[in-house]
Amino acid sequence: MGKLFIPLQVLFMLLGTLFWTDEASAIPPSAITSGQNCLGCHATADNMPGLYKQYSKSAHYEKNVTCIDCHGAQADDPDAFQHYETFISVIVSPRDCQKCHETAVKEFEVSQHAKARELVTTGVGAYFLNNLAGSRHFGDDAKYAAGTNGCLRCHGSEILMDKNGHPTKETWPNSGIGRKNPDGSMGNCASCHETHEFSAAQARRPESCAICHNSEGGDPQIETYSASRHGTTYAAKSGQMNFHSREWVVGENYSAAPTCATCHMSATRDMPATHDIGKRINWSALLQETNSIAVQEKCGLPVGLKYEQPAPASEHRENMEKVCSACHSKMFSGHFFKQYEMEVRLIKEKWLEPGKVLFQLVTEVLQAAEKEKYAFLTHPIDYTWFGMCNTTAKAAHTGAAMMSPGWTEKGNGGFAAAWYSSYIPALKGIIEKYGDSSDKEVEKRVKALREKLNEIMNKKAYSGPWDIKETTPGK
Ligand code: HEC
Ligand code: HEC
Ligand code: HEC
Ligand code: HEC
Ligand code: HEC
Ligand code: HEC
Ligand code: HEC
Ligand code: HEC
C-alpha cells in the first residue's frame, strides 16, 4: 500500500502546488501578504480542511483575525520560511498574541506556568530526566525519547529550528506550558486554548487542565477534583454552566459548581480573571508558605528553580476566598481552610521534616562510602524517598486542597505505609551494611544516622501506643 500511495500523493501535491502557485502569481505581491489571501487559499485548499473549519468557528474568524496575524514572519526571523510569496512561521509564541492580548500575555509570563520548563532542566528534575533518558551513553536520538514524549510534553521543550526555518523533529510538535520559543519568549497559549478555535469556553472546563494535571504525571488534580463534591456536582450539572457566556463571573453567569478555572483563574464579582495561576495559591504543592517550588527543599533533594511570587502569600488566600464566597459563607470556607492547613502541617511536621533529615544523613553515609562513584538516583532509597515526597505527600496535600477525602487518605495512609515498610527498613539496612566499616569518615556518618534514627523513632508520634481520644475530637 505504502509504495503505491506515496507516488500518488507526491503527484497530487505537485499538482496542487503548481495550481496554487499559478493563482498566487496572478495577484500583485503586496496582496499576497494580506490575510484575505491566506484565507482565500486555505478555505478552498484540499489540505487541512479540518483545520480551516476549526478556525472558522473562532472569535478570530468573526473579527477578521486571519492566519497571517499569527503566522506572519519577517524574512530574518529564526523560524521564518517562505510559503508561496510570503514569509511565515509555523511556530506561534505568546509574543505573537501579545499585540492584541497584552494583559493575558503579561500575566502568563510572570506565572509559574511560564517557568515550567526550568523545573525539568534544573535540580532534581534534571537528575530525574537524565536518569530516565539513559543519558548520552544511549544510542542516537533515543536519548531524547523520555523527555520528548514525556516530561517536556507537559513542561515544554526548547524549540530548535533547522536551517530552513522549520522546527526540528525532537522539539516540535510540543505544547508544553513552559516551552522556550525561538523568539526567546516562554510558554504556549495553545496549551489550554486548542488551535484553531482558541476558545475561552473550552479552557473553562476542567478537562483542559487534565492533560497535565493528572496522577500519571504525579500531580493528581483532575482525580482529586473529580472525586470531590465540586467535581461530582460538575459532572451532574455541566450542562448548566453557561461556558459560552462572554463574561463568566461566578455567582452571576453560573452557580452550579466551580471548575479548575473558577477557583484558579476566572472572574468573581470583585476580582478580574487572571492568567497568573499563582495569584490565588498560598501553599504550593510543594508545601512551603511562599509560592516557591519547594519539594526539593522540603525533601532535601537537589534544588533547581526557586520561584517567588511578588505578592505576599496572605493576599493569595484572600483572593481564593473571594471565589468561595460566591457560593459559601465566610465561616464555611474559613473553617475549610483551617482543616486544610492541619493537613499541610501534618505532612510537613510529622513526615517530611524528619524524613528529610534522615535522607540527608543517609546520603552522607553513601557519599562517604562510595566516594567519587556516588550518584544521586542510583540507590533504592533515593527512589523510595523521592516517591514519598513527590507522589505520596503530594496526593495528601492535593487531596486536602481540592476536598477529596479519598486522595487525602491515600496520601496519608501511603506515606505511613512507605515509612514503616520501606523507608525505615532501608535506612536500617544501610546502617547494617556500613556499620562495621573501617573507614573513619564512614563510621562517623553511620553513627550520626543511627543516633538520629533512634531519636526520631522513639518519639511517641512514631512508636505509639496511641489513644483515639487524642486524635479525634468528641470521642
Ligand atoms: C496558494 C495557496 C496558499 C496560500 C496563498 C497560503 N497557503 Fe498556507 N498552505 C497551503 C497548502 C496547500 C499548505 C499545505 C502544506 C504545503 O504544501 O506547504 C499550506 C500550509 C500552511 C502552513 C503549515 C506549513 C507547514 O509546513 O507545516 C501554514 C502555517 C500556512 N499554510 C499558513 C499560511 C499563511 C499565514 C498564509 C498567508 C500568508 C498562507 N498559508 C497562504 C496553501 C496556501
Ligand atoms: C490566533 C492565532 C492563529 C490564527 C489566526 C491561525 N493560527 Fe495556525 N497556529 C496557531 C498556533 C498558536 C499554533 C501552534 C503552533 C506552535 O506549536 O507554535 C498554530 C499551528 C498551525 C499549524 C501547525 C499545526 C498543525 O496542526 O498542523 C498550521 C498548519 C496552521 N497553524 C495553519 C493555520 C492556517 C492555515 C490559518 C488560517 C486559516 C491559521 N493557522 C490561523 C495560531 C493561529
Ligand atoms: C502529565 C504531565 C507531566 C509530566 C509527563 C511530567 N510532569 Fe512534572 N509536573 C507536572 C505538573 C502539572 C506539575 C505541577 C504540580 C503541582 O504544582 O502540584 C509538575 C511539577 C514538577 C516538578 C516540581 C515539583 C516537584 O514535584 O518537585 C518537577 C521537578 C517536575 N515536575 C519534573 C518532571 C520531570 C523530570 C518529568 C519527567 C521525568 C516530569 N516532571 C513529567 C506535570 C507533568
Ligand atoms: C492554563 C490554561 C491557559 C493558558 C495557558 C492560557 N489561557 Fe487564556 N484563558 C484560560 C481560561 C480558563 C480562560 C477563561 C477565563 C474566564 O473565565 O473568563 C481564558 C481566557 C482567555 C481570553 C479571553 C478573555 C480575556 O482575557 O480577554 C484570552 C484573550 C486569552 N485567554 C488569551 C490567552 C493568551 C494570549 C494566552 C497565552 C499567553 C493564554 N490565553 C494562555 C486559560 C488559559
Ligand atoms: C490581530 C489581533 C489578534 C491576535 C494576533 C490574536 N488575537 Fe485572540 N482575539 C482577537 C480578537 C479581536 C478577539 C475577539 C475579542 C472580542 O470578541 O472581544 C480575540 C479573542 C480571543 C479569545 C477569546 C475567544 C472566546 O472564546 O471568546 C482567545 C482565547 C484568544 N483570542 C486567544 C488568542 C491567542 C492564544 C492568540 C495567539 C496565538 C491570539 N488570540 C492572537 C484578536 C487577536
Ligand atoms: C500543558 C500542561 C499544563 C496545562 C494544560 C495546565 N497546567 Fe497548570 N501547571 C503545569 C506545570 C508543569 C506546572 C508546574 C509549573 C511550575 O510550578 O513552574 C503547573 C502549575 C500550576 C499551578 C501552580 C501550582 C503550585 O503548586 O503553585 C496551578 C494553580 C495550575 N498549574 C493550574 C492550572 C489550571 C487551572 C489549568 C487549566 C485551566 C492548568 N494549570 C493547565 C502544567 C499545565
Ligand atoms: C473549589 C475551588 C477549587 C477547584 C474547583 C480546584 N482547585 Fe486547585 N486548589 C484550590 C485550593 C483552595 C488550593 C490550595 C491553595 C493554597 O494552598 O492556598 C488549590 C491548589 C491547587 C494546586 C497546587 C497545590 C497542589 O495541590 O498541587 C494546583 C496545581 C491546583 N490546585 C490545580 C487545580 C486543577 C488542575 C483543578 C481542576 C482539575 C483544580 N485545581 C480545581 C481550589 C480549587
Ligand atoms: C459555584 C459555586 C461554588 C464555589 C465557587 C465553591 N463551591 Fe464549594 N461547594 C459547592 C457545591 C455545589 C457543593 C456541594 C453541595 C454542598 O455540600 O453544598 C460544595 C461543597 C463544598 C464543601 C463540602 C465538601 C464536603 O465533602 O462536605 C466544601 C468544604 C467546599 N465546598 C469548599 C469550598 C471552597 C473552600 C471554595 C473556594 C475555594 C468553594 N467551595 C467554592 C459550590 C461551590
Does some domain include residue 472? Answer: no
Do residues 381 and 445 share a domain?
yes
- Short-list 157, 261, 154, CA closest to 212: 154
Same domain for 206 and 65: no
Q: For residue 308, what pLDDT is reported?
A: 62
Cis bond upstream, residue 167 (ω within 30): no
pLDDT of residue 400: 95
Tell me the mean pLDDT in the region 254-261: 98
4 within domain boundaries: no
Pick from 251, 254, 229, 228: nearest CA to 240 = 254
Same domain, yes or no: 326 and 348: no
Q: pLDDT class for 45, splitting at 50, 70, 90?
A: confident
Amino acid 15: pLDDT: 38
**526571523: which residue's cell?**
77
Q: Is the beta carbon of 38 within 6 A of some atom in ligand 2?
A: yes
> Domain range holding 353?
336-462
Residue ID of nearest Cα to ligand 2 atom 31: 90
Q: Is residue 47 part of a domain?
A: yes
- How many residues in the chain? 475
Ligand 8, atom 40: closest residue by C-alpha: 324
Looking at the structure, tell me whether residues 155 and 265 fall in a common domain: yes
Atom of ligand 2 nearest to the CA of 65: 5
**The pLDDT value given to residue 231:** 98
Of the pLDDT bands very low, low, confident and very high (cuts 50, 70, 90), residue 245 is very high
Classify residue 162: in a domain, yes or no: yes
Separation CA 90–CA 107 (nearest Å): 24
Q: How far is the CA of 121 from the centre of ligand 3 (A)?
A: 11
Q: Whose CA is closest to atom 16 on ligand 5? A: 59
> Does 282 fall in a domain?
no
Instruction: Write the pLDDT tens digit of every residue in 310-328.
Output: 667 778 889 999 999 999 9
Within this chain, do residues 340 and 326 fall inside the same structural domain, yes or no? Answer: no
Q: What are the tens digits of pLDDT across the range 342-393?
A: 998 899 899 999 999 999 999 999 999 999 999 999 999 999 999 998 899 9
Indicate if 126 and 58 belong to the same structural domain: no
One domain for residues 77 and 109: no
- pLDDT for 282 equals 80
Residue 196 beta carbon below 6 angstroms from any ligand 7 atom:
no
Min mean pLDDT across 24-28, 32-36, 47-51, 419-423 is at 24-28
User: Is 299 inside any structural domain?
Assistant: no
The total number of structural domains in the chain stands at: 3
Last residue of a domain, one of 64, 90, 116: 90
Same domain assignment for residues 71 and 171 = no
CB 76 within 8 A of CB 161: no
Q: Do 250 and 130 fall into the same domain? A: yes
68 and 179 share one domain: no
Q: Is position 293 within any domain?
A: no
Residue owning the nearest CA to atom 24 of ligand 3: 295
Domain boundary among 90, 116, 149: 90
For the chain, give the percent of residues with pLDDT over 90.
70
Q: What is the pLDDT of residue 6?
A: 35
In a domain, 53, yes or no: yes
Distance CA 400, CA 337 (A): 9
Cell (9 digits) for 357: 533529615
Considering the domain architecture, whether residues 252 and 221 belong to the same structural domain is answered as: yes
Whether the per-residue pLDDT at 2 is higher than 70: the answer is no
User: Are 456 and 349 within one domain?
Assistant: yes
Name which of 118-122, 129-133, 306-310, 462-466 the model is least confident about.
Answer: 306-310
Under a CB-based contact definition with an 8 Å cutoff, are residues 398 and 285 in contact? yes
Considering every ligand atom, which ligand is closest to the CA of 156? 6
For 270-303, the three-class secondary structure string (H helix, E strand, C coil) is CECCCCCCCCCCCCECCCECCCCCCHHHHHCCCC
